[in-house]
Chain A
Amino acid sequence: MNPMLNLWLIPVLPLAGAAINGFLGKRSSRTAVTTIALFFSGAALAMGLWVALRFSSLTLPYQEYFAHWIRSGSFSVDFAFYLDQLSLVMLLVVTGVGFLIHVYSVGYMWDDPSYYRFFSYLNLFMFFMLTLVLAGNYLMMFIGWEGVGLASYLLIGFWFTKDSAASAGKKAFIVNRIGDFGFLIALFLLIKHFGSLNFDQVFQSINPLRAETASAGLLTAIGILLMVGACGKSAQIPLYIWLPDAMEGPTPVSALIHAATMVTAGVYMVSRSHVIFERAPMALTVVAIIGTLTAFFAATIGIAQTDIKKVLAYSTVSQLGYMFMACGVGAFSAGIFHLMTHAFFKGLLFLAAGSVIHAVGGEQDMRKMGGLKSYIPWTFLTMGIATLAISGIPPLAGFWSKDEILWKAYQVSWIYWLIGLITAFLTSFYMFRLLYMTFFGDYRGVQVDAHGHGSHGHGEHGQAEPHESPMVMLAPLMILALLSLVGGLMGIGNHFEHFLAPVFGTGETVEAASRVTEFLLLGVSVIVAVSGWWLAYWLYCARPELPQKIADSLGGFYEAVVHKYYVDEFYAAVFVRPLIDGSTRILWQDVDRKVIDAAVNNAGAGARHLSDEVRHMQSGNIRSYAGWIAAGSAVVIGFMIWMGVR
């Protein structure tokens, strides 16, 4: 018998913080807002750690029933929580990284006039994200799923007076709706065929089913629909377009929501549903192909971006692709491992980028940076560690997780491995390009920046010289840097995989012969990572005039990459414009105005015309009245005679 853990408190604590700051924050001081926001997100972290400490004494999966929700015949959905190794990893990542980013935001957002609103939204996000990872059934998960979408929308459009931010928020929300549509249909299919949404019941009824190897069936359909949902939330092809635009939000938001936690919800959901996917090989192949393509495609776009946050955004899309590639080849624990290390180093990269942007007064264009390493040494150091980690230089976190994925992918098909390897090279290249463009060479920014780029509304933009961020921002950077340094070590000897084995089942033991192959592949990926580094060094540090020449010689292709392969323009032409035109011309001007409005108007006008006609009967002329009476009685008599004859 398990002790009562009161898991429901973990999401509800940040909700309380969001409510207090949302309702009372406007009238409280910044210190009070900070105290409340940090206390409640810190309390969630503390509870998460407390649960982790008691974890070994629990019989898993630990389930907690909180309250009734829906009861209809034999179908029931409750407010219930579910804790196993997978949710524990997610819980610790979300509360841990979440709390660090809360701390960082205190420094980053201090001068913003809507300080309380920011923290209220941030706590709200924590509530929904924790609901998502601790949910005991798909519907609870869906609450969290939609809730983080809402929080994401609110935070992307945080500076809503800026037109681009407002429309980026809308874009994120609408693109996510497409994915949620697939997710919802998958849920309906589950209800129809398995009569339940609770994780344990659904998986129990699916477990005895045979894999749909011969032909695609129900499980394949559910799997692919779930993947549609994951594509939306986790920014995979073809729904990745919202994530780069989401960089309009404040940088801590990009770090927390659009790098470390929310966008990984899709990976978590697919891993949580691994029972379904394992029995639907075709759905798994779809996941793997989408992941691999996204990883490669986004990495190529990342190469030519000049906005520091856009590079990181495409990098996030690419890394999420890796995670889906892992899930697609059945290596769910490798995907979750990369999810965790990615949360560390990508969160760190975004926070460091925020520190850079803060230092240069709101500038995001890397072409106007350069030589910052002497101005902001701490930021440089931490960002350097994160860059090494994401590029897969041993022994940092990214090396272990990425190599795990590549190795598992190689066991399924060398094509996945090869594309993954090329992507690793591109990753290393664009990350070191970012590092060299930002921190090395000479400072290319405007030295005297009278009153900065107020559009970002944060920081003191008036500094003439780049300045290091305050300690409250540097401390989270250092902690995350430490995690990026050592976070991968738990992957040694497959500790992480063994920890997750009760959830995903044990992987096959690797034979001695393939051990050799594994180390060979490991060596190849290290060489690839280092060569990406070297190329970036050569192009952006040693010979800085070369990139422009290469770009010129590539001509149209380079243009296409800079414009993100014109995917946004393509979607605009194929989906958005016809939708707007169709709505305007057909739905608004034809259906709405000519059918619905016309029906209402004509009903009124018709009644007026009819009464206008009938009005003339009331003439006051006695003889016309007599005529009507006579005609009426004639009709009545005629009717009676006709009835009599019949």
Chain B
Amino acid sequence: MVPLSYYLVLSGFLFACGVAGFLIKRNIITIFMSIELMLNGVNLSFVAFAAHWHALSGQVFVFFVMVVAAAEAAVGLAIIIAVYRTRETLNVDQVNLLKL
């Protein structure tokens, strides 16, 4: 059986990758994907703990997170398309003003 710490290390690695990508990347799509990566890193630790403690609440939580992430993806992608249409760029450094 794979020990819990392995899952947690992987989960922490995924989360750290997400953080790094969020901070470093300029492209909005990539930033968006980094956020998804952080969410999934957290999901992984939820699932690992649920399996370790034989408790279902962790898995239920993961479903909630997925639902919210899906909804967020829908709204977020819509915003990104709207931004691209108006600004013709996806570089966050050039999208720092709300007014045109």
Residues in A lying within 8 Å of B, measured CB to CB: 620-621, 623, 626-627, 630
Q: Mark B66-97, 1 if CB is under 8 A from A, else 0.
A: 00000000000000000000000000100010
> Is the pair B96, A626 in contact by a Cβ cutoff of 8 Å?
no
B22 proximity list for chain A (CB < 8 A): 623, 626
Query: With an 8 A cutoff between CB atoms, is B19 at the interface?
Result: yes
Q: Mark B14-56, 1 if CB is under 8 A from A, else 0.
A: 0000010011000000000000000000000000000000000
The answer for the CA separation of A626 and B92 in the assembled complex, in Å, is 14
Other-chain contact of B19, A620, A621, A630 (Cβ < 8 Å) = A630
> Is the pair A627, B96 in contact by a Cβ cutoff of 8 Å?
no
- Considering only CB atoms, which chain B residue lies closest to A624 in the complex? B23
Q: How far is the CB of A644 from chain B (nearest CB, A)?
A: 14
- Considering only CB atoms, which chain A residue lies closest to B24 in the complex? A623
The answer for the CA separation of A621 and B23 in the assembled complex, in Å, is 11
> Is the pair A623, B92 in contact by a Cβ cutoff of 8 Å?
yes
B23 proximity list for chain A (CB < 8 A): 623, 626-627, 630
CB pairs A–B below 8 angstroms (10 shown):
A620-B96, A621-B96, A623-B22, A623-B23, A623-B92, A626-B22, A626-B23, A627-B23, A630-B19, A630-B23
B19 proximity list for chain A (CB < 8 A): 630
Q: Which of A620, A621, A623 has the most CB of B within 10 A?
A: A623
- Considering only CB atoms, which chain A residue lies closest to B92 in the complex? A623
- Considering only CB atoms, which chain B residue lies closest to A627 in the complex? B23
- Considering only CB atoms, which chain B residue lies closest to A629 in the complex? B19
- Considering only CB atoms, which chain A residue lies closest to B23 in the complex? A627
Instruction: Identify whether the interface residues of B are mostly helix, strand, loop, or mixed.
Output: helix
The answer for the CA separation of A630 and B23 in the assembled complex, in Å, is 9
Q: How far is the CB of A108 from chain B (nearest CB, A)?
A: 91
A621 proximity list for chain B (CB < 8 A): 96
Q: How far is the CB of B83 from chain A (nearest CB, A)?
A: 14
- Considering only CB atoms, which chain A residue lies closest to B26 in the complex? A623
Instruction: Identify whether the interface residues of A are mostly helix, strand, loop, or mixed.
Output: helix
Q: How far is the CB of B97 from chain A (nearest CB, A)?
A: 10
The answer for the CA separation of A630 and B96 in the assembled complex, in Å, is 21
B96 proximity list for chain A (CB < 8 A): 620-621
Q: How far is the CB of A617 from chain B (nearest CB, A)?
A: 16
The answer for the CA separation of A621 and B97 in the assembled complex, in Å, is 10
A623 proximity list for chain B (CB < 8 A): 22-23, 92
Q: How far is the CB of B13 from chain A (nearest CB, A)?
A: 14
Given contacts A623-B92, A630-B19, 8 further A-B contacts (CB under 8 A): A620-B96, A621-B96, A623-B22, A623-B23, A626-B22, A626-B23, A627-B23, A630-B23
- Considering only CB atoms, which chain B residue lies closest to A630 in the complex? B19
The answer for the CA separation of A626 and B20 in the assembled complex, in Å, is 10
The answer for the CA separation of A623 and B91 in the assembled complex, in Å, is 13
Q: How far is the CB of B44 from chain A (nearest CB, A)?
A: 18
Q: How far is the CB of B11 from chain A (nearest CB, A)?
A: 14
The answer for the CA separation of A621 and B92 in the assembled complex, in Å, is 10
The answer for the CA separation of A623 and B92 in the assembled complex, in Å, is 9
The answer for the CA separation of A534 and B92 in the assembled complex, in Å, is 116
B92 proximity list for chain A (CB < 8 A): 623
Q: How far is the CB of B21 from chain A (nearest CB, A)?
A: 11
A627 proximity list for chain B (CB < 8 A): 23
The answer for the CA separation of A621 and B19 in the assembled complex, in Å, is 16
The answer for the CA separation of A468 and B94 in the assembled complex, in Å, is 106
Query: 5 shortest A-B CB distances, which residue pairs?
Result: A630-B19, A627-B23, A626-B23, A623-B23, A626-B22
The answer for the CA separation of A621 and B95 in the assembled complex, in Å, is 11
Q: How far is the CB of A524 from chain B (nearest CB, A)?
A: 111
The answer for the CA separation of A626 and B19 in the assembled complex, in Å, is 9
The answer for the CA separation of A620 and B23 in the assembled complex, in Å, is 15
A626 proximity list for chain B (CB < 8 A): 22-23
Q: How far is the CB of A630 from chain B (nearest CB, A)?
A: 5
- Considering only CB atoms, which chain B residue lies closest to A623 in the complex? B23
Q: How far is the CB of A443 from chain B (nearest CB, A)?
A: 103
Q: How far is the CB of A635 from chain B (nearest CB, A)?
A: 14
Q: How far is the CB of B20 from chain A (nearest CB, A)?
A: 9
The answer for the CA separation of A627 and B20 in the assembled complex, in Å, is 9
The answer for the CA separation of A283 and B56 in the assembled complex, in Å, is 101
- Considering only CB atoms, which chain A residue lies closest to B97 in the complex? A620
The answer for the CA separation of A630 and B19 in the assembled complex, in Å, is 8
Q: How far is the CB of B18 from chain A (nearest CB, A)?
A: 10
The answer for the CA separation of A265 and B7 in the assembled complex, in Å, is 98
Q: How far is the CB of A631 from chain B (nearest CB, A)?
A: 10
Q: How far is the CB of A628 from chain B (nearest CB, A)?
A: 10
Q: How far is the CB of B36 from chain A (nearest CB, A)?
A: 16
The answer for the CA separation of A630 and B16 in the assembled complex, in Å, is 10
Q: How far is the CB of B65 from chain A (nearest CB, A)?
A: 19
Q: How far is the CB of A215 from chain B (nearest CB, A)?
A: 85
The answer for the CA separation of A620 and B97 in the assembled complex, in Å, is 10
A620 proximity list for chain B (CB < 8 A): 96
Q: How far is the CB of B32 from chain A (nearest CB, A)?
A: 14
- Considering only CB atoms, which chain B residue lies closest to A631 in the complex? B23
The answer for the CA separation of A630 and B21 in the assembled complex, in Å, is 12
Q: How far is the CB of A473 from chain B (nearest CB, A)?
A: 97
- Considering only CB atoms, which chain A residue lies closest to B19 in the complex? A630
The answer for the CA separation of A99 and B9 in the assembled complex, in Å, is 105
- Considering only CB atoms, which chain B residue lies closest to A637 in the complex? B12
Q: How far is the CB of A18 from chain B (nearest CB, A)?
A: 81
Q: How far is the CB of A219 from chain B (nearest CB, A)?
A: 85
- Considering only CB atoms, which chain A residue lies closest to B25 in the complex? A623
- Considering only CB atoms, which chain B residue lies closest to A621 in the complex? B96
- Considering only CB atoms, which chain B residue lies closest to A620 in the complex? B96
The answer for the CA separation of A627 and B19 in the assembled complex, in Å, is 9
Q: How far is the CB of A323 from chain B (nearest CB, A)?
A: 94
A630 proximity list for chain B (CB < 8 A): 19, 23
Q: How far is the CB of A405 from chain B (nearest CB, A)?
A: 101
The answer for the CA separation of A175 and B23 in the assembled complex, in Å, is 77
- Considering only CB atoms, which chain B residue lies closest to A619 in the complex? B96
The answer for the CA separation of A620 and B96 in the assembled complex, in Å, is 9
- Considering only CB atoms, which chain A residue lies closest to B12 in the complex? A637
The answer for the CA separation of A623 and B19 in the assembled complex, in Å, is 11
Q: How far is the CB of A509 from chain B (nearest CB, A)?
A: 112
Q: How far is the CB of A117 from chain B (nearest CB, A)?
A: 78
The answer for the CA separation of A550 and B39 in the assembled complex, in Å, is 116
The answer for the CA separation of A626 and B18 in the assembled complex, in Å, is 12
The answer for the CA separation of A403 and B96 in the assembled complex, in Å, is 108
Q: How far is the CB of A72 from chain B (nearest CB, A)?
A: 70
The answer for the CA separation of A623 and B34 in the assembled complex, in Å, is 13
Q: How far is the CB of B28 from chain A (nearest CB, A)?
A: 12
Q: How far is the CB of B53 from chain A (nearest CB, A)?
A: 20
Q: How far is the CB of A270 from chain B (nearest CB, A)?
A: 88
